[in-house]
Chains A and B, each alone.
Chain A
Amino acid sequence: MKRKSSRAAKAAKISKPALRRTKTRKYAPRAKTAAAPKPKVAFYWCSSCGGCEEAVVDLEENILEVTAAVDIVFWPCALDFKTEDVRALPDQSLAVAFINGAVRTSEQEEMVKLLRAKSQLVIAFGACAVQGGIPSLANLKDKESIITRAYREAESVVNPKGTLPQENTTLHGESLTIPRFYETVYTLADVIPVDYYLPGCPPTRSLLEDALHAILGNRLPARGAVLAPNHSLCKTCERNATKPDRLMIQDLKRIHQVAADPESCFLAQGLLCLGPATRDGCGQACIKANMPCTGCFGPLSHFDQGAKMLSALAGIFQAEGETAADHFAASVVDPAGTFYRYGVAASLLGGRRKERSHG
């Protein structure tokens, strides 16, 4: 019992800094002379939903503090700068580029390569840039079926001639070229070298603030680091103390089928929670809203999130025998979508083949 309560106390202690900060922090004052120009920052989006942009806007009044400390020179979602403006900048002249979204088109590839050349630091911002995110679920289908579904079969589509988008179209003597839609979805690091990773769907306000403070205060860890703790969510989850010593479940339920207890561990309730296989740092937004973790912070370093979670889940399922095993297997309705919801592009089976380059 003692062990459990100390665990709970620790959880409470650790989760605190993750709460919203209202107090503003001051950056080192910068001289107002031309001799000390403010660091230049870019924000860019690739295949994304806009949620990561929203996370920046969510800095609320603190964004003023950020804009006082840096010059935002490119932010297609919010400010009217053009690609040409970025091209005109000298190489390495941006202090940092925050890039969200996965990479799926030739235009995105071109843009992230451009930003890489112009920036001293590139930060993969959000689950899509870090692990492929929701867009990389598309890697479970091939390009042809995606295009056909989207342009011919979808219930809302009216396309009697079955026209499909073409990279090059000539109409009335004019030719139009649109970006190429790649076969697969890539993580940002598949396409360009990435310096730091900010996970989350989207990254939390406190994570972003901490990252900004680290960059501006020159307190960044070694390159390549994920700017979130390298332990699983369970470690700081306030429900962890309620987990029985020997966790065993009889049946897997889905969240809409039950009224989830607001205090006890979801897994112990037979509800699939990805906490054991997911990196901490989200501030437990979902858990606090009585929703199990769906895994947006991705895996801990060097692990495959889905494989770990599948393994853990099968391990705690109690029933033995072939029929029970089949029943268990069938109870996870969509295994890939459940265990790799935010990370097919970074997974062992669907991620980039790094060992060999041929098919």
Chain B
Amino acid sequence: MTEFTPKIVAFVCNWCAYGGADNAGSQKLEYPAAVKLIRVMCSGRVEPEMVMQAFRQGADGVMVLGCHPGDCHYRNGNMKALRRFRLFSRLLAQFGIHQDRFVFDWVAASEGKKFQTVATRLAAAVQKLGPLSLTGYVRQGEPS
């Protein structure tokens, strides 16, 4: 059996979380190579559809990281994202996707350490859960 290497997609906002990841890099703080960053202008720009696409296209874990409350470059995009993804997490569970596979959190541009912690924790959780297999999908031997 080949060893499972999780794929993790991280949507990071341009103004804070991306800076946080960058900060982790400049401090030489290691975080799992499985984490692929996608830079967006604001966490409020990340639509649930994008996270679903990530899962559908093979991500085993997804995180959306934005500025801390009060720090949003666009005033309240992060708050919209917070409401969206709190509800979204409940929806994921109904579709059989373990809640530990999805993380929404705040990371400031100076928080390289926090970025490392969040990324490492998600990678470990996903490693424990194993590869994602979506339910409700076509199984072998059924209509083709």
Residues of A within 8 A of B (CB): 103, 109, 139-140, 142, 182-184, 186, 190-191, 303-304, 306-308, 310-311, 313-315, 317, 320-322, 324-326, 328-329, 332, 334-337, 339, 344-345, 348-353, 355-357, 359
Q: A184-B137, A190-B138, A351-B136 are in contact. Are A304 and B49 (CB under 8 A)?
A: yes
Q: A320-B76, A355-B56 are in contact. Are A315 and B84 (CB under 8 A)?
A: yes
Please tell me if B57 contacts chain A, counting CB pairs below 8 Å: yes
Q: Mark B56-70, 1 if CB is under 8 A from A, else 0.
A: 111000000000010
A124 to B57, CA, bound (A): 27
Inter-subunit contact A329/B138 (CB<8 Å): no
Q: A349-B95, A349-B136 are in contact. Are A314 and B56 (CB under 8 A)?
A: no
A320 to B78, CA, bound (A): 10
A320 to B79, CA, bound (A): 6
Q: A184-B142, A350-B95, A351-B136 are in contact. Are A307 and B49 (CB under 8 A)?
A: yes
In the bound complex, residues from chain B placing their C-beta under 8 Å from that of A336 are 91, 94-95
A339 shortest CB reach to chain B, Å: 7
In the bound complex, residues from chain B placing their C-beta under 8 Å from that of A184 are 135-139, 142
Please tell me if B134 contacts chain A, counting CB pairs below 8 Å: yes
A310 to B94, CA, bound (A): 14
Q: A320-B76, A321-B69, A335-B94 are in contact. Are A357 and B138 (CB under 8 A)?
A: yes
Please tell me if B53 contacts chain A, counting CB pairs below 8 Å: yes
B51 shortest CB reach to chain A, Å: 8
Q: List 15 A-B contacts (CB under 8 A).
A: A183-B142, A184-B135, A184-B136, A184-B142, A303-B49, A307-B52, A310-B84, A314-B83, A320-B76, A321-B79, A328-B83, A335-B91, A350-B135, A359-B133, A359-B139
Within the complex, which residue of B82, B84, B136, B139 is in contact with A350, where a contact is CB–CB below 8 Å? B136
In the bound complex, residues from chain A placing their C-beta under 8 Å from that of B56 are 348-349, 353, 355
Inter-subunit contact B52/A348 (CB<8 Å): yes
Q: Mark B66-92, 1 if CB is under 8 A from A, else 0.
A: 000100000010011011101111111
Inter-subunit contact A314/B80 (CB<8 Å): yes
Name the CB-closest residue of B to A182.
Answer: B142
A182 to B142, CA, bound (A): 7
Inter-subunit contact B94/A352 (CB<8 Å): no
Within the complex, which residue of B53, B58, B96, B139 is in contact with A140, where a contact is CB–CB below 8 Å? B96
Q: Mark B89-125, 1 if CB is under 8 A from A, else 0.
A: 1111011110000000000000000000000000000
Q: A184-B136, A336-B95, A345-B136 are in contact. Are A311 and B82 (CB under 8 A)?
A: no
Inter-subunit contact B53/A310 (CB<8 Å): no
A306 to B48, CA, bound (A): 9
A278 shortest CB reach to chain B, Å: 16
Please tell me if B55 contacts chain A, counting CB pairs below 8 Å: yes
Within the complex, which residue of B47, B69, B97, B133 is in contact with A349, where a contact is CB–CB below 8 Å? B97
B20 shortest CB reach to chain A, Å: 19
A219 to B47, CA, bound (A): 38
Within the complex, which residue of B49, B76, B79, B83 is in contact with A308, where a contact is CB–CB below 8 Å? B49
